[in-house]
Amino acid sequence: MEPDIPVGDLKPLNTQGQALVMSVVDERTLGPVTRSRLTLRIQPTEGEPFEVTTRVAFPTPEERARIKVGRTIGVRYDSEDHRRVVVDPEQDAGD
């Protein structure tokens, strides 16, 4: 079960990193938008790798198709609270 993050928690996601996609579960599709649950293994520049599960709403089928198990993607996260992670489309890590 995912931990709850308080609504209105506006602390910045102050760290960029690379994450290996461990699993992708599509939860819901509404029109072109697909909501998926991703399990990611993040390798910080310093410290031990960690895994986190996050939900992402992909605006188009093409955006969703780019995320595959085994692919490395860019992420941003809170260095003090590793539960707070978002996929960073501006930082495309590639395969």
pLDDT of residue 14: 80
Answer yes or no: is 29 within a domain.
yes
CATH number, residue 52 = 2.40.50
The per-residue pLDDT for range 62-89, each reduced to its tens digit, is 999 999 999 999 998 888 888 888 888 6
The per-residue pLDDT for range 38-59, each reduced to its tens digit, is 999 998 878 889 999 999 999 9
Answer yes or no: is 7 within a domain.
no
Residue 94 has pLDDT above 60, yes or no: no
Structural domain count of the chain: 1
pLDDT of residue 16: 86
| Rounded-to-integer distance, Cα 32 and Cα 58, Å | 8
Answer yes or no: is 93 within a domain.
no
Does the reported pTM lie above 0.95?
no
Answer yes or no: is 34 within a domain.
yes
47 contact partners, CB below 8 Å, separation of at least 6: none
Answer yes or no: is 8 within a domain.
no
81 is in which domain, residue-wise? 15-87
